[in-house]
Amino acid sequence: MRPQDLLCPKDSGLYCPVGDFYIDPVRPVGRALITHAHADHARPGHAHVLATRETLDIMALRMGAAHAAATQAAAYGERIALGGVTVSFHPAGHVLGSAQIRLEHAGLRLVVSGDYKRQPDSTTPPFEPIPCDVFVTEATFGLPVFRHPPPHREIGKILTSLAQNPQQTHLIGAYALGKAQRLMALLREAGYDAPIHIHGALEKITRYYQSRGVDLGEIALLQPGGKAETPKGGVVLCPPSALHDRWSQRFGDAARAMASGWMRVRARARQSGVSLPLIISDHVDWPDLTRTIEDIDPAETWVTHGQEDALIHWMTMRQRAARPLRLIGYGEEEDEAA
């Protein structure tokens, strides 16, 4: 069997005709396998959803319990038969519950990685390289310029600024699922033990992380009232969209930071209007992307989205078979509305 007979791109997403299911479909389908709960990969309206327990729980928190007609939880490593295909979910290291999905049929093995990273992250199980014939990868930061520094070095920027400006509130923009909780954990690992205040848009996911045993220290919800409930100094986490809106005015002359792999690009950092750009990403950078392909050593690599051309060129120069899928509808995590 050819790999494209087992998995092929359709308008709705990656489709497996043998098992009659889609992976991360962009529109409602009969059966969907979901890699993780970010909104560009997990959408409501499917008849049946198969995902990890954490992904299903987070989807319910974000979309409501009726986001799918039926759901099924898959444990990491569990083998599940769908038609003539055996599927299994494996840690992707992206956010809590994120998974790579392995398909096995007629001796052929394909792994759809979804979004993933290989930097250490105490809030989610680490990425596991899975042997396969075809590796399906993202390339969000698939250019040699993207080399994410050690995250503790970036957190050090915040701690240094706090020490120099103890009365100034430090407002950090971070995506509600995964990035915000990772920043909390990184601050704790760096020795910051004061309460971390959060915008209301981060509360549900943060409390869920805590319920799953992720230690984030003391988290204080900022009430929607005025300055009476506003801390003087310390750290406040919020969605990126809230950094410069009316809500943020309550903090006065706050130091504003933004955590994203895109902060590597100076123009993007300037456009964000922040004084402390933090290069912290939940996606692989160029060295980890190419290292992953070398570690797995698949017979063929397919690239779903991102900087496909650069990665395809890198593989072609090394006599590695590769093809771009050019899927539409995927990208970095969405900004949560304030």
pLDDT tens digits, the chain, 338 residues: what are they? 899 999 999 999 999 999 999 999 999 999 999 999 999 999 999 999 999 999 999 999 999 999 999 999 999 999 999 999 999 999 999 999 999 999 999 999 999 999 999 999 999 999 999 999 999 999 999 999 999 999 999 999 999 999 999 999 999 999 999 999 999 999 999 999 999 999 999 999 999 999 999 999 999 999 765 554 677 889 999 999 999 899 998 898 999 999 999 999 988 888 888 999 999 999 999 999 999 999 999 999 999 998 999 999 999 999 999 999 988 778 755 544 32
CB 256 within 8 A of CB 243: yes
SS3 category, 314: helix
CA distance 32 to 13: 10
CB 111 within 8 A of CB 102: yes
Rounded to two decimals, the pTM is 0.94
- pLDDT for 298 equals 98
CB 84 within 8 A of CB 103: no
CATH of 151-278, one of 3.30.1490.20, 3.30.559.10, 3.90.550.10, 3.40.50.10890: 3.40.50.10890
What's the fold here for domain 3-145+282-324?
Metallo-beta-lactamase; Chain A (3.60.15)
SS3 category, 31: strand
Do β-strands 134-139 and 219-221 pair in parallel, antiparallel, or remain unpaired? unpaired
Locate the domains of the chain by residue range: 3-145+282-324, 151-278
CA distance 121 to 170: 22
Half-sphere exposure of 214 (CA within 13 A, CB side): 26
Query: Cα dist. 277→95, 264, 274, 307, 321 in Å?
Result: 21, 8, 6, 22, 37
Task: Give me the sign of the Cα torsion angle 205, 241, 49, 4.
Answer: negative
Task: Give me the sign of the Cα torsion angle 276, 251, 338, 223.
Answer: positive
Structure tokens at 102: 């392995």
Question: Partners of 219 in the beta sheet?
Answer: 196
Query: Cα dist. 331→103, 139, 176, 308 in Å?
Result: 23, 10, 16, 12
Residue 287 sits at the vertex; the CA angle it makes with 284 and 293, to the nearest 5 degrees, is 80
